[in-house]
């Protein structure tokens, strides 16, 4: 009996050891917000592959450190080979990737990010300690080339150094975390003193008044201090400071290097904001004597050269307030505190984003009257009950709100054209918001203004693209109630009315609606109109289609979810790292029960082009499932349906009168040219070599739910 129990325990322990994966091994804070597809476990080490963002070495290193790790340390050939294999085979990229190795402190003496010495290495010829080129002195950081033998190459660490060598210092990167039972080992966590106290949370640190009026996405905790990043409004120093004080706080007081690094890192890497932000430091009382907003003296400083107490000159003496530049190592710069004639004459803009901080005992006194508060009480519960599961999985709670059993996503971190915003909403099974009543319109405007601090217009799902005098909602229903500002909508008599077909809401003008151009065409630029705005999506329970509930299982198992997208119940697979002929690409799609993509409508064609260009960052032509192989100039789709809507470029398709048209039977989309279609030869042959027409292209497959797999 005893022997049997011991045997069972041994079997269980072996099973547990084999089962230890991302959830057991990666830090909880990272696993909870990151995509598991980009996390791998190797020898009790969690690896986070960041292949969709490109950063300088310093930015990448700070991003890894913010989560308690370092840039990856491939100290053995086995790990180096594993990383290269994952990059190519799993993530489909052959880009160079930063690793945690540099010789910044002493030329030609390379050290790992954990300060250990270099023993095994994999430098390419003429790189590393053998780099005797003129640029060697500024090429201090190391990247791995995933192709070939996964060799290492020297590069400048940041943008300033790269200007001399004309190289791009921004690369993808890999973070690593040495872990034990899902928690970061204290002895392996670098620069632990700069990390915030994780035992304090936004809910138990930030004042109730701040929590009630600010979205939690913009709140962080540092050493028992609640930090509010105000990124959607730009104010003068005095106006920003008054806003912070109104809630019982001050502008941020980064009195130590770790605190300053934390703020700069959050701005740059978490919020993706690379612009100066006000901090609570000034010398308005006595020139060159800087004091903090809590009247404490300046002990540690991080002024850029020529700024701070050393400034001189007439203009410099009027620059009394300080802003931090997150993109330049968090350095501080002097600026004028207010708008005035001198600010206009010197072309300096004293309006900036800013950071507030609140001590634990702060009590917000903001008089926030929200007619809709009864609707959004217990926000997390309502969101969980109302928002479709797929939307929750993709977007999280930060930007979601509920009104009358309808889930709304506030897209206030990225500006898009109307078409891009509409595609973004449709990709999760929704539409742009449809405020068909004054009550809903007021709710949306209030959320933009008070919850997300938005001071600019945001797209809603209303347009007059088909009939200039007749506006329709995105769900194709007619407009009954309207809330256009004077001179907008059907009453727009301006010369530009014929081009201003899409509608945006202004939260600062009582939620009134304004006409704008739908896309960023040349005419928009000529008329001085920028059509990229924030936007609001709406979803009904059960609407959302996701990769998990739409794409066939075998397709999901074959490729990472990064390369799968959903549009109107159709699963699309973007094959952007391999090039094939039309015939080869078509066979590859059919292998898993699909076919090459069939963009039979402008909205779908725009969606596919937008994904290639804006999400995958490629302007390479991609095969779609259209050809005229059976009868010249009669194009049919891969599912044998006839061509109705089309998007051929001039001189292509049925209008192709070139000599080569009889052999250019297959169609590719150009995402960099408005998604236009072009004819090409379907396979490689001698003529394609002579005409230098390369028939090997990236491609898009599509699958339905009942597809094989």
Report pLDDT digits (tens) over 94-141.
889 999 998 877 788 899 988 788 999 999 988 888 776 655 567 889
Q: In terms of Cα–Cα distance, which of 582, 612, 600 is closest to 636? A: 600
Q: Which residue has the tokens 């959830």?
A: 23
Helix (H, G, I), strand (E, B) or coil at 36: helix
Helix (H, G, I), strand (E, B) or coil at 538: strand
Strands 533-539, 431-432: pairing kind: antiparallel
C-beta separation of 273 from 353 below 8 A: yes
C-beta separation of 502 from 395 below 8 A: no
What span, in angstroms and rounded, lies between the C-alpha atoms of 585 and 339? 59
C-beta separation of 207 from 247 below 8 A: yes
What span, in angstroms and rounded, lies between the C-alpha atoms of 624 and 702? 10
Do the domains spanning 208-308+318-339+350-358 and 568-704 agree at the CATH topology level?
yes
C-beta separation of 515 from 500 below 8 A: yes
Q: In terms of Cα–Cα distance, which of 566, 458, 474, 575 is closest to 511? A: 458
Residues linked to residue 123 through DSSP beta bridges, in sequence order: 152
Phi, psi of 444 (to 5 degrees): -65, -45
H or E segment at 565? strand 564-567
In angstroms, the first-to-last Cα distance of the chain is 46
H or E segment at 340? none
Instruction: Return the number of other C-beta atoms located less than 10 Å from residue 640's C-beta.
Output: 7
Instruction: Return the number of other C-beta atoms located less than 10 Å from residue 261's C-beta.
Output: 21
Please check whether the domain covering 208-308+318-339+350-358 is classified as CATH 3.10.100.10. Answer: yes
Residues linked to residue 701 through DSSP beta bridges, in sequence order: 573, 596
Cβ within 8 Å of residue 686, ≥6 positions away: none
Report residue 109 as tokens. 């003496």
Q: In terms of Cα–Cα distance, which of 28, 33, 39 is closest to 396? A: 33
Instruction: Return the number of other C-beta atoms located less than 10 Å from residue 114's C-beta.
Output: 14
Cβ within 8 Å of residue 503, ≥6 positions away: 459, 460, 462, 463, 471, 489, 513, 514, 515, 516
C-beta separation of 576 from 563 below 8 A: yes
C-beta separation of 227 from 221 below 8 A: yes
Radius of gyration of the chain (CA): 28
What span, in angstroms and rounded, lies between the C-alpha atoms of 452 and 565? 28
- State the virtual CA torsion across 702, 704, 705, 707 in degrees, nearest 10: -90
* Series of mean pLDDT values for 10-residue runs along the chain (709 residues): 44 38 58 66 88 84 78 93 88 88 84 88 88 67 88 80 53 82 36 40 77 74 87 84 80 93 84 87 87 90 88 64 91 83 56 88 40 42 70 67 87 83 81 94 88 84 80 88 88 61 90 84 46 88 67 82 81 90 93 93 86 79 92 90 90 68 83 89 67 77 69
C-beta separation of 337 from 282 below 8 A: yes
Cβ within 8 Å of residue 639, ≥6 positions away: 595, 598, 625
Residues linked to residue 564 through DSSP beta bridges, in sequence order: 573
C-beta separation of 311 from 303 below 8 A: no
Report residue 479 as tokens. 């407009």
Question: Domain spanning 380-520+530-540 has what CATH number?
Answer: 3.10.100.10
Q: Exposure of 377 by Cβ count < 10 A (0-12 exposed, 13-18 middle, 19+ buried)? A: exposed
Could you say which of 3.10.100.10, 3.40.50.1000, 3.30.428.10, 3.40.50.1450 is the CATH number of the domain covering 568-704? 3.10.100.10
Helix (H, G, I), strand (E, B) or coil at 41: strand
Strands 570-580, 697-703: pairing kind: antiparallel
* pLDDT for res 625: 96
What span, in angstroms and rounded, lies between the C-alpha atoms of 443 and 336? 37
Report residue 593 as tokens. 């029960």
Question: Domain spanning 24-181 has what CATH number?
Answer: 3.10.100.10
* pLDDT for res 694: 58
C-beta separation of 253 from 294 below 8 A: yes
* pLDDT for res 95: 86
- State the virtual CA torsion across 358, 359, 361, 362 in degrees, nearest 10: -20
List Cα–Cα distances, 8 to 14, 15, 567, in angstroms: 10, 10, 48
C-beta separation of 425 from 434 below 8 A: no
List Cα–Cα distances, 587 to 592, 596, 641, 694, 699, in angstroms: 9, 9, 19, 19, 12
H or E segment at 6? helix 2-19
* pLDDT for res 660: 53
H or E segment at 491? none
Q: Which residue has the tokens 């500024």?
A: 138
What span, in angstroms and rounded, lies between the C-alpha atoms of 346 and 335? 11
Indicate the domain borders of the chain. 24-181, 208-308+318-339+350-358, 380-520+530-540, 568-704
**DSSP-derived secondary structure for 623-673:** EEEEE-SSSTT--EETTSPBP-S--BPTTSGGG--SGGGGG--EEEEEGGG
Phi, psi of 552 (to 5 degrees): -55, 145
What span, in angstroms and rounded, lies between the C-alpha atoms of 251 and 238? 10
* pLDDT for res 208: 74
Q: In terms of Cα–Cα distance, which of 579, 599, 601, 582 is closest to 590? A: 582
Q: Which residue has the tokens 């962080």?
A: 220
Phi, psi of 287 (to 5 degrees): -55, 130
């Amino acid at each position: 009996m005893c022997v049997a129990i011991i045997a069972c325990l041994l079997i269980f322990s072996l099973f547990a050891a084999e089962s230890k994966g991302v959830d057991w091994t990666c830090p909880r804070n990272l696993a909870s917000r990151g995509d598991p597809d980009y996390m791998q476990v190797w020898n009790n080490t969690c690896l986070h592959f960041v292949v969709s963002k490109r950063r300088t070495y310093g930015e990448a290193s700070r991003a890894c450190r913010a989560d308690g790790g370092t840039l990856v340390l491939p100290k053995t050939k086995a790990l180096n080979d594993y990383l290269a294999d994952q990059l190519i085979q799993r993530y489909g990229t052959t880009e160079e990737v930063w690793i945690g190795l540099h010789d910044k402190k002493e030329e030609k003496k390379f050290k790992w990010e954990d300060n250990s010495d270099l023993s095994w290495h994999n430098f390419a010829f003429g790189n590393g300690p053998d780099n005797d080129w003129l640029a060697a002195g500024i090429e201090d950081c190391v990247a791995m080339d995933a192709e070939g033998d996964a060799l290492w190459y020297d590069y400048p660490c940041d943008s300033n150094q790269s200007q001399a060598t004309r190289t791009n210092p921004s690369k993808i990167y890999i973070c690593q975390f040495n872990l034990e039972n899902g928690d970061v080992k204290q002895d392996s966590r670098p620069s632990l003193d700069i990390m915030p106290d994780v035992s304090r949370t936004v809910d138990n640190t930030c004042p109730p008044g701040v929590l009630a009026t600010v979205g939690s996405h913009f709140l962080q905790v540092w050493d028992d201090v609640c930090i509010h990043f105000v990124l959607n409004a730009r104010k003068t120093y005095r106006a920003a400071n008054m806003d912070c004080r109104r809630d019982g706080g001050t502008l941020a007081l980064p009195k130590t290097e770790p605190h300053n690094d934390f703020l700069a890192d959050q701005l740059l890497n978490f919020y993706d904001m690379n612009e100066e932000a006000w901090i609570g430091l000034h010398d308005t009382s006595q020139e060159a004597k800087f004091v903090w907003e809590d009247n404490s003296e300046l002990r540690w400083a991080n002024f850029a050269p020529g700024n701070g107490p050393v400034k001189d000159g007439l203009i410099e003496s009027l620059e009394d307030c300080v802003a931090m530049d997150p993109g330049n190592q968090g350095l501080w710069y002097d600026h004028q505190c207010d708008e005035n004639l001198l600010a206009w004459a010197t072309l300096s803009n004293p309006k900036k984003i800013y950071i507030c901080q609140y001590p634990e005992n702060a009590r917000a006194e903001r008089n926030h009257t929200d007619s809709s508060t009864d609707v959004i009480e217990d926000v997390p519960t309502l969101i969980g009950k109302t928002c479709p599961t797929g939307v929750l999985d993709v977007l999280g709670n930060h930007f979601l709100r509920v009104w009358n059993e309808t889930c709304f996503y506030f897209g206030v971190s990225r500006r898009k054209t109307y078409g891009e915003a509409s595609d973004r909403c449709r990709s999760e099974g929704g539409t742009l918001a449809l405020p068909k009543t004054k009550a809903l319109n007021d709710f949306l405007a209030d959320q933009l203004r008070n919850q997300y601090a938005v001071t600019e217009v945001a797209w809603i799902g209303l347009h007059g693209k088909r009939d200039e005098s007749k506006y329709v909602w995105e769900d194709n229903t007619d407009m009954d109630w309207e809330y256009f500002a004077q001179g907008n909508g059907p009453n727009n008599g301006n010369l530009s009315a014929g081009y201003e077909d899409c509608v945006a809401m202004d939260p600062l003008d009582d939620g009134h609606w304004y006409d704008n151009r739908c896309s960023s065409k040349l005419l928009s630029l000529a008329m001085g109109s920028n059509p990229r705005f924030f936007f609001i999506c709406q979803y009904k329970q059960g609407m959302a289609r996701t990769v998990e509930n739409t794409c066939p299982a075998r397709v999901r198992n074959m490729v990472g979810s990064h390369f799968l997208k959903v549009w109107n119940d159709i699963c699309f697979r973007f094959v952007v790292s391999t090039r094939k002929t039309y015939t080869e690409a078509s066979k590859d799609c059919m292998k898993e029960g699909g076919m090459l993509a069939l963009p039979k409508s402008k909205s779908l064609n725009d969606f596919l082009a937008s994904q290639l260009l804006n999400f995958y960052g490629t302007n390479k032509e991609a095969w779609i499932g259209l050809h005229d192989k059976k009868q010249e100039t009669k194009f049919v789709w891969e599912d044998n349906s006839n061509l109705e809507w089309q998007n051929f470029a001039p001189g292509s398709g049925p209008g192709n009168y070139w000599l080569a048209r009889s052999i250019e039977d297959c169609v590719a989309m150009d995402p960099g040219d408005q998604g236009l279609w072009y004819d090409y030869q379907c396979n490689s042959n001698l003529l394609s070599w002579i005409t230098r027409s390369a028939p090997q292209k990236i491609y898009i497959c599509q699958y339905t739910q009942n597809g094989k797999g």
